[in-house]
Structure 1
Amino acid sequence: MANVGLLYVGAVLLINGLMLLGKVPTRAAAPLNLFVGALQCVTPTVLIIQAGSDGDAILAASGLYLFGFTYLYVGISNLAGLEPEGVGWFSFFVAGAALVYAGLSFWRDGDPVFGVIWLCWSLLWSLFFLVLGLGIARLTRFTGWTTTLLALPTCTLPAFLAMTGGYRSDGGLALIAAVVGVLLVALAALLAGRGRTPVRASAPAAPAAT
């Protein structure tokens, strides 16, 4: 069930990345953020209710709220024309929590590939904090490109693999995932350097979920 939400998180990350790049108007991005945000809040609630006293299942579902709240926050902020600092500072919290979930994936769950994915998400939310929370405008294009390039590889692809029984996780695959992630971030830096940096991020935009 969680993988269904992850599938569409890839779409909203892509849209939000393009929004930061100025390719999608903020109000045009709001509906998808609201749709996916609602999905990423309903899904963990159902999973937690079904889990009963299963602590591992509850822990696995708990991370989904980080992203559900983010997307709802972004969608509402874009429609209401709110300042981006609120989303930015919430992203600081999400970035820190993502590091914890990454550690759990590596050392508790035996899923190093998803540990790498969590690290990618922590990087993304850290960038959202810097751009939206602290107003560091020179990072806007880099953040937009990083979000756009990481959207499908960290969300939609693993979701499809998991739903079709093709997902595998071991140290070798995690290393490959890490190398791909680094290359995509390097490409984002290259692409960002070719464009003009806006004066300030005009509206909140954020990714995620698992």
Structure 2
Amino acid sequence: MASVGLLYVGAVLFINGLMLIGLIPGKSAGILNFFVGGMQVIFPTLIILQANNDLATIFAASGLYLFGFTYLYVGINQFTGISGEGLGWFSLFVAVCATVIGVLQFSLVGDPVFGVIWLVWAVLWFMFYLLLAQHRESITRTTGWFTILISHLTGTIPAFFLLTGYYQPSPGIALLVAALAIVFLGLSFYLGRRPAAEAGQHGRPSAAAASPA
């Protein structure tokens, strides 16, 4: 179930990134956030109910709620027009949790690839904290591009490897993911600083437009 949900994490991250750079209207993207957010709340609940108090299974499922609540929060924001500060502060909470989960992937689970992926998600959520809670609107497009660039790196591609049985939690792959994420972050800052007039041709995206992972 978790790997199926991860596939659609890639999809919703991609859509939310396009929303942030002004290519997709907020309500249009909000619909997918409701779909995937609902999935990411239902799936972990089913997993936990069938876990028979197995702590490893419950731990693996618990992180999915971070995604589910984030996406539902994004969808509600888009359809109600409420302020994004609450979502921003929730994103800080999620960034801290994602950091802890990432470290535990290295030390407890022995999966360095998802250790790196969770840390990349932590960076993304922290960017949304800065954008929404601290009103750093200057990083709106940077955050959007980073969301787009890591959507398939951290969601779609590992999901397909998991679903086909080819996933390997090797240190070499973890280093490759980390290197690509760093490159993508730098590229996002470059793309995010492109002339404002060019961005304005498509309409300025709202700072409360979306959230990560």
Q: Taking structure 1 as reference, are residues 29 and 64 closer, same or farther at Cα in structure 2, changes over 3 Å only?
A: same
Unaligned runs of 5+ residues in structure 2 are none
Alpha-carbon contact 1:88-1:204 (below 8 Å) kept: no
TM-score normalised per structure 1:
0.95
**1:55 — aligned with what?**
55
Aligned-pair identity (%): 51
The amino acid that maps onto 1:42 is: I
- Offset of residue 106 of structure 1: 0.6
CA deviation vs aligned residue, 1:11-63 (integer Å, no higher than 9, x gap): 11011111111111111111100000000000000000010110110010000
**1:144 — aligned with what?**
144
1:1-210 residue pairs with structure 2 within 5 A? Answer: 1-196=1-196, 201-208=206-213
The amino acid that maps onto 1:3 is: S
Question: What is the rounded CA distance, in whole Å, between the counterparts of 1:15 and 1:173 in structure 2?
Answer: 26
The amino acid that maps onto 1:48 is: I
Question: What is the rounded CA distance, in whole Å, between the counterparts of 1:147 and 1:61 in structure 2?
Answer: 23
RMSD of equivalent CA atoms: 1.4
- Offset of residue 176 of structure 1: 1.2
The amino acid that maps onto 2:122 is: S
- Offset of residue 172 of structure 1: 1.6
Question: What is the rounded CA distance, in whole Å, between the counterparts of 2:142 and 2:163 in structure 1?
Answer: 31
- Offset of residue 202 of structure 1: 4.1
- Offset of residue 203 of structure 1: 2.6
Question: What is the rounded CA distance, in whole Å, between the counterparts of 1:200 and 1:169 in structure 2?
Answer: 37
Question: What is the rounded CA distance, in whole Å, between the counterparts of 1:154 and 1:173 in structure 2?
Answer: 12
Alpha-carbon contact 2:145-2:192 (below 8 Å) kept: yes
Match of 1:168, SS state, is coil
Alpha-carbon contact 2:22-2:205 (below 8 Å) kept: no
- Offset of residue 175 of structure 1: 1.0
- Offset of residue 200 of structure 1: 7.7
Moved more, 145-154 or 184-193: 184-193
Match of 1:154, SS state, is helix
Question: What is the rounded CA distance, in whole Å, between the counterparts of 1:200 and 1:20 in structure 2?
Answer: 5
The amino acid that maps onto 2:6 is: L
Question: What is the rounded CA distance, in whole Å, between the counterparts of 2:205 and 2:16 in structure 1?
Answer: 16
- Offset of residue 80 of structure 1: 0.7
The amino acid that maps onto 1:182 is: I
Question: What is the rounded CA distance, in whole Å, between the counterparts of 1:192 and 1:75 in structure 2?
Answer: 24
Alpha-carbon contact 2:140-2:207 (below 8 Å) kept: no
Moved more, 197-206 or 88-97: 197-206
Match of 1:108, SS state, is helix
Match of 2:50, SS state, is helix
Question: What is the rounded CA distance, in whole Å, between the counterparts of 2:73 and 2:44 in structure 1?
Answer: 17
Alpha-carbon contact 2:16-2:211 (below 8 Å) kept: yes
Moved more, 14-23 or 197-206: 197-206
Match of 2:109, SS state, is coil
Alpha-carbon contact 1:136-1:200 (below 8 Å) kept: no
